[in-house]
Each structure stands twice: as C-alpha cells, then as structure tokens.
Amino acid sequence: MTIREAQETVDQWIKTTGIRYFNELTNTAILMEEVGEVARIMARKYGEQSFKKSDEEVNLADEMADVMFVLICLANQTGINLTAALEKNLEKKSIRDADRHKHNKKINP
C-alpha cells in the first residue's frame, strides 16, 4: 500500500465505519496518546523499565500502526499529501545533513 492509498483507505474507513473525523484538536490528543503507548513499549522492551503484568499482551507493530492511522487522519483533515510532504522532507534532510553525520564522532568514530 502506498502512502496515498493509505490516506484514501483511512478516509473511506472514517467516512463509513468511523462515521466522521474527530476534530483536529481531538485527533492531536489521540496522536499523543498513541505515541505515548509506543514510548511505553520501547522503554520496557529496549530501555531499563520492566513490563508490568498488564503490559504482557502489548504489540509494538499494532501501536505503531495506531500512530500512523491517527497521523493519516490529521493529514487528511488538514489537506496534507503525506507522500509529497515526506519527499520534500527527505530532500531537505539530504541537503542539510549531507556531511553532518559523516563528521559526527559520536556515531561515526
């Protein structure tokens, strides 16, 4: 599935199953909640925190997909083409960071 197809699929799901989009502010709050769930799993799986009994059934892939879903909702609501936005962002990073990481002794000793 392309990013464009994902945006179209989410839009169709929202308009049928979801009935309508939550407003942008609500979706922003939901996005933060979903990112927090990813962070919680990361801290426990890759960081120093331990899993609680209630965390045993966590699914990192599913939580990341939740983040993508809400981000796509926000893009759809605000008229952002995520494919074009990502392409432009990668171009910016490629120019800005062309030599930056090559000379970073912290990651390239």
Residue 109 has a pLDDT of: 77
pLDDT 10s digits, 2-15: 999 999 999 999 99
For the cut 80, the answer to whether the pLDDT of residue 87 exceeds it is: yes
- Distances, alpha carbon 15 to alpha carbons 6, 24, 68, in Å: 14, 15, 18
Closest CA to 27 of 82, 65, 61, 78: 78
CA-derived radius of gyration, the chain = 18
Tokens of 10: 């989410």
Residue 40 has a pLDDT of: 94
In whole angstroms, give the CA distance from residue 6 to residue 70.
12
Confidence of residue 70 (pLDDT cuts 50, 70, 90): very high
